[in-house]
């Protein structure tokens, strides 16, 4: 079976497991909703529309970042039950196929959460994005992939560590800082409408470059950490 076939099989397995229990997506949804509500309570969105527009990009990404962290750890722990991980390591499929499929599965879950949260976000914060909204359809997936690819890798890295839940945010946030900067600036630029299109394009290109570099590094190094003993 070729590489993509392996990826697709792993992906189907993950999607099926998730569809049957839906715990990951539900957890993420409620967490993101909670973050949005708490920030909405912190200041008055209707009274200060300009301030709201300036911080809304950051709030959206904070909500998504923490929501995806809660789900990423869980995505690997289901491999620990019933010694599934040992079976995966012994299977003839390349380890990076397992990684890629997990990353794609997590990406799909977070995209579903984004699709649900974004309208709620717009409603709670009374946002009228002043820039080109279709750019958000490019920025959101690129940014999400940056978080998910590194997050899946680091979640696997900490799999047999104590304090696994602490390790993931500790690793993910410093490593994703360049991507976080790009996605927050691009999103805020689109919502505020005051950034030059060239600048937004450069942020998007930086995000795409980050995605390519770190996807490559993660795929190349995954086998090393899966067989770390």
Partner 1 sequence: MSRPSTLRTLAWPWLIGTLAVLVFAFRQAIFVVPADAAQGDVGRIFYYHVPSAMLSLVFPYINFLAGVAYLFWRRSDPLKALAADALAVAAAEVTIVYVTICLVTGMIWGRASWGIWWAWDPRLTAELLLWLLYAAYLAVRRFSASGQTPTIAAVLSVFAAIDVPINYMSIRWWRTQHPAPVFGGGPDAGMDPSMMPAFVWNIIGWTLWGAFILFFRYALEQRRQFVEEENALKAIEASLEIPQ
The footprint of partner 1 (CB under 8 A) covers: 157-158, 160-164, 166-167, 170-171, 173-175, 177-178, 181-182, 185, 199, 202, 206, 210, 213-214, 217, 221, 224-225, 228-229
Least distance to partner 1 from the beta carbon of 107, Å? Answer: 20
Q: Is 228 exposed, middle or buried (0-12, 13-18, 19+ CB in 10 A)?
A: exposed
Contact status, residue 173 vs residue 163, Cβ threshold 8 Å:
no
Inter-CA distances, 141 with 9, 39, 130, 225, Å: 23, 23, 20, 27
Among 96, 84, 106, which Cα is nearest to 7's? Answer: 96
Least distance to partner 1 from the beta carbon of 18, Å? Answer: 27
Least distance to partner 1 from the beta carbon of 30, Å? Answer: 28
Least distance to partner 1 from the beta carbon of 1, Å? Answer: 28
Distance CA 153, CA 72 (A): 9
Least distance to partner 1 from the beta carbon of 146, Å? Answer: 11
Of 68 and 176, which has the nearer Cβ to partner 1?
A: 176
Report, in angstroms and rounded to the nearest whole number, the Rg of the chain calculated over CA atoms. Answer: 18
Of 145 and 214, which has the nearer Cβ to partner 1?
A: 214
Distance CA 192, CA 195 (A): 8
Report which secondary-structure segment, H or E, holds 195: none
Of 15 and 225, which has the nearer Cβ to partner 1?
A: 225
Of 41 and 166, which has the nearer Cβ to partner 1?
A: 166
Of 77 and 126, which has the nearer Cβ to partner 1?
A: 77
């Amino acid at each position: 079976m070729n590489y993509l076939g392996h990826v697709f099989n792993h992906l189907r397995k993950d999607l099926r497991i998730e569809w049957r229990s839906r715990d990951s997506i539900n957890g993420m949804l409620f967490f993101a909703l909670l973050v949005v509500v708490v920030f909405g309570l912190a200041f008055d969105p209707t009274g200060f529309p300009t301030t709201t527009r300036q911080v809304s990009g950051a709030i959206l990404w904070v909500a998504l970042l923490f929501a995806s962290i809660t789900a990423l750890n869980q995505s690997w722990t289901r491999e620990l039950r019933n010694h599934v991980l040992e079976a995966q390591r012994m299977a003839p499929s390349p380890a990076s196929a397992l990684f890629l499929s997990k990353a794609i599965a997590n990406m799909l879950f977070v995209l579903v959460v984004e699709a649900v949260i974004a309208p709620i976000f717009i409603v709670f914060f009374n946002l009228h994005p002043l820039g080109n909204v279709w750019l958000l359809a490019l920025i959101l997936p690129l940014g999400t992939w940056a978080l998910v690819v590194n997050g899946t890798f680091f979640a696997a890295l900490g799999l047999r560590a104590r304090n696994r839940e602490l390790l993931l945010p500790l690793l993910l946030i410093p490593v994703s800082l360049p991507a976080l900067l790009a996605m927050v600036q691009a999103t805020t630029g689109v919502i505020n409408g005051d950034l030059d299109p060239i600048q937004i394009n450069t942020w998007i290109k930086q995000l795409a470059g980050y995605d390519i570099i770190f996807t490559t590094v993660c795929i190349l190094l995954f086998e090393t950490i899966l067989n770390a003993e």
